[in-house]
Structure 1
Amino acid sequence: MAVTTDFCADVRHAASAMRRLFPETPLQENAYLSRKTGARIFLKREDLSPVRSYKIRGAFNFFRKILDSPEEQPDVFVCASAGNHAQGFAYVCRHLEKRGVIFMPVTTPQQKIDKTRLFGGEFVEIRLIGDYFDACYRAAQDFAASSGGMMVPPFDHEDIIEGQATVAFEIEEQLPQGVTPDLIILPVGGGGLAAGVTCYFGADGPRFMFAEPVGASSLHSSLTERHRVRLPQVDNFVDGASVAEIGEANFAALAHFSPGDVTRIPENRVCATIIEMLNIEGVVLEPAGALAIDALKDLSAAEIAEKTIVLVVSGGNFDFERLPDVKERALRFEGLKKYFVFRFPQRPGALRDFLDLLGPEDDIARFEYLKKSARNFGSVLIGIETKDAANFALLRDKFDAAGWTYQDITDNETIAGLVI
């Protein structure tokens, strides 16, 4: 997608039209992150849109373009999504009083189904099809083809890209007079937001940095290979950005960037950022919404000192049932929680001997017999939390000196996935 005067004018027109639906989301200077990094940090709060994500922008713009067309209008609009796209789609259907059918996997959490139904009201129908998204998406395509419905894609369409680009227009308008960003950090899933924002600012704009999860780094892989790459598998933890293949139109707009412009965020590390922003700033973020903030960790203090940086906070649809898992991942990333399998002697006093090795800042978070390995020994899973990661080095020294046989399985995904 080429950057043209017409594109920027179209984006401004799209932003004006959106004001009938919702006000601009705020651009907030964040004192905490600014002090922490030595830069001037602004957060573009897309988590404060009516559906708590930027996806409403692309969906509305797609509908608007179709409805403004002189061609025959579809009787029904269709989408497949288990997340933010479905909610934005539903909200627009209700606002425009257009019938919509939303296909979701059967495994979609009830909370997301209920929110989507709430946004769409009587104008949307939700159909639960398949255990995984691919089956759900095929069902949506089949329905659209058989019913004459119009598929509304989540990211791979020029009208969607144009809608997401309104984020850039608002950033430009909301920055204090005379202030221009040195760097804009954008989360990437399918690439609609990144394509739109970079196209709006153009080659003479700020530097861009893209943040995507390690387990779904389709943009980085595609830029490395210089063509779109479909990942053989993805880690769905950062569900708002877990896309196996970046969109075709989106990659065309981003292909001139280099792999070095992409930072790949470890899934457990973004959990630490979610907890940090919740505890310190009171900001509720979904994993994808925290990617841009987390990316600051990959920039040196010297690199960003006194720079103006805009972070796009893409979404805040966090299911609090996930909070225990997020806390667990954050502790493991920060080195404050580890899991061990010990060969435990079956004798009186063995547990007391073990507990005596723990320091005042160490706590047993889990203790579970797995099996008896021999008549006189049993395998025990022990989870330990501490207040300082350095304490684990001291513990290992104590374990070794006392003759304990054990294995640290914290980072062994195969074993940890089976027993933790």
Structure 2
Amino acid sequence: MTSDTFHTRVAYAENALRQLFDATPLQLNEHLSARYGARIFLKREDLTPVRSYKIRGAFNFMRKRIEEGAATREFVCASAGNHAQGFAFACRHFGLKGRVFMPVTTPQQKIDKTRIFGGSAVEIELTGDFFDDCYAAAKAYAQSSGAAMVPPFDHEDIIEGQASVAREIVAQLGGSAPDMVVMPVGGGGLSSGIARFFGGGDDAPTLRFVEPAGAPSLHTSLTAGQLVRLPQLDGFVDGAAVAEIGAIPFETLRRFRPNDVVLVPEGRLCQTMLEMLNIEGIVVEPAGALALDALKDIQDEIAGKTVVCVVSGGNFDFERLPDVKERALRAEGLKKYFILRLPQRPGALRDFLHLLGPDDDVARFEYLKKSARDFGSILLGLETKHPEAFPALYERLDAAGFVYQDITDNRIMADLLI
């Protein structure tokens, strides 16, 4: 496929999308621009009708099947998130029957939103505990019923639809490309679409791809020089936590270097989510904050430049907010967890409390072994206002002879006890 053909297809896809919504805003963000000494624009994909870019690819895939005169009038997908919602919206728009397979563990909020977007056009089936289970069920249903399977990222038509983001960016900048585009990577539909649209010429913008540190599928594959399936991943950034990037997207992205991929720690990402909410009033899901957080790692590259960050989605369930705050505090070094060995004698607790500083706060205090004769093991959570308070506390605890273990970064212990 030539570049001209791809650009023509993307143009057609973007024009067709105007049936559903206007181009999403490209907003100059004064807060981030001042911080990094650059012109930072946010491409607000969180402002599509389904609050993510996924609607672009799903709509384009269905539109092309209809224009090709496909016999099927039913479509099917497997998703527990943004793809399902974009799929449902497109089904209702076209008046087509749709079936969404979701894991049984899908939060009710996501199920309800998919039902709202799809209305009577879409049926939802909950099956399996994990995505792979429902994906297999969706494929089996498609094969037995003749329904068309709408993939989340690994298809040319999906990639073309997602690439409409890049075409809108150029138009919104007056016909010119920015100096740099920073974008999240999950399965690779969006990132490969943007990369193919801009190409690799001398006038092309620099591209930076961003993955969660706990799910570095593109980075790992680029390092290996071939597709690699991650044996395990951290699913916190659910919109970008993919065990293996798509085969078609990888063919486009394999020309990049591992250093072109920024890996963002999940805890630090939570700080950015809270910052955008508290300072800018922008609600972003974890994947939607990836490009914004990556600016911290590339700030030396962007000074004085025009940079576009793709905010990929804003489907955030506020029931997750306590977890986001918790992760942010731990990442900033403002909250830690300990196993404290406390003597079983009168006044021992008072002695310990007297060692705390004026800004130290006991957030959790739980006896783990209540029948101990001489010592009791306590799960202790402490919050403070300044990270340097903890080294000073350690010195006071050591001088007083208290035995303790910091388990904040011990994943096994933390998962079991916290």
Query: TM range, normalised to the smaller chain?
Result: over 0.9
Q: Which amino acid aligns with 1:251?
A: F
Q: CA deviation at 1:73?
A: 2.2
Q: CA deviation at 1:178?
A: 7.5
Q: Which amino acid aligns with 1:227?
A: Q
Is the contact between residue 74 and residue 96 of structure 2 (CA under 8 Å) also seen in structure 1? yes
> Which residue among 176, 184, 208 is the counterpart of 2:181?
184
Q: Which amino acid aligns with 2:185?
A: V
> Which residue among 372, 396, 402 is the counterpart of 1:398?
396
> Which residue among 70, 76, 85 is the counterpart of 1:87?
85
Q: Unaligned 5+ residue runs, structure 1?
A: none
C-alpha distance in 2 between matches for 1:206 and 1:74: 41
> Which residue among 177, 186, 194 is the counterpart of 1:197?
194
Q: Which residue in 2 is equivalent to 1:8?
A: 7
1:151-171, CA deviations, whole angstroms, 9 ceiling, x for partnerless residues? 000000000000000000000
1:410 aligns with 2:405: no
Q: CA deviation at 1:254?
A: 0.7
Q: Which residue in 1 is equivalent to 2:214?
A: 215
Is the contact between residue 3 and residue 199 of structure 1 (CA under 8 Å) also seen in structure 2? no
Q: Which amino acid aligns with 2:379?
A: L
Q: Which residue in 2 is equivalent to 1:75?
A: 73
Q: Which residue in 2 is equivalent to 1:271?
A: 270
C-alpha distance in 2 between matches for 1:3 and 1:46: 27
Q: Unaligned 5+ residue runs, structure 2?
A: none
CA 1:3–1:373 in 2, change beyond 3 Å: closer, same or farther?
farther
Q: CA deviation at 1:348?
A: 1.7
- Tell me the C-alpha RMSD between the 2 structures: 1.1
C-alpha distance in 2 between matches for 1:185 and 1:9: 24
CA 1:102–1:109 in 2, change beyond 3 Å: closer, same or farther?
same
Is the contact between residue 170 and residue 176 of structure 2 (CA under 8 Å) also seen in structure 1? no
C-alpha distance in 2 between matches for 1:82 and 1:59: 15
Q: CA deviation at 1:355?
A: 1.2
* 3-state secondary structure, aligned to 2:296: helix
Is the contact between residue 340 and residue 408 of structure 1 (CA under 8 Å) also seen in structure 2? yes
Q: TM-score, normalised by structure 2?
A: 0.98
C-alpha distance in 1 between matches for 2:105 and 2:412: 24
Q: Which amino acid aligns with 1:121?
A: G
Q: CA deviation at 1:373?
A: 7.3
C-alpha distance in 1 between matches for 2:137 and 2:241: 20
C-alpha distance in 2 between matches for 1:373 and 1:243: 45
Q: Which amino acid aligns with 2:408?
A: T
Is the contact between residue 3 and residue 200 of structure 1 (CA under 8 Å) also seen in structure 2? no
Q: Which amino acid aligns with 2:172?
A: Q
CA 1:12–1:311 in 2, change beyond 3 Å: closer, same or farther?
same
CA 1:3–1:183 in 2, change beyond 3 Å: closer, same or farther?
farther
1:46 aligns with 2:45: yes
Q: CA deviation at 1:179?
A: 6.0
Percentage identity across paired residues of the two chains: 65
Q: CA deviation at 1:180?
A: 3.8
C-alpha distance in 1 between matches for 2:262 and 2:61: 30
Q: Which amino acid aligns with 2:237?
A: V
* 3-state secondary structure, aligned to 2:379: strand
Q: Which amino acid aligns with 1:165?
A: A
> Which residue among 149, 152, 156 is the counterpart of 2:150?
152
Q: CA deviation at 1:309?
A: 0.7
Is the contact between residue 129 and residue 139 of structure 1 (CA under 8 Å) also seen in structure 2? yes
Aligned residues: 416
Q: CA deviation at 1:51?
A: 0.3
Q: CA deviation at 1:372?
A: 4.2
Q: Which residue in 1 is equivalent to 2:254?
A: 255
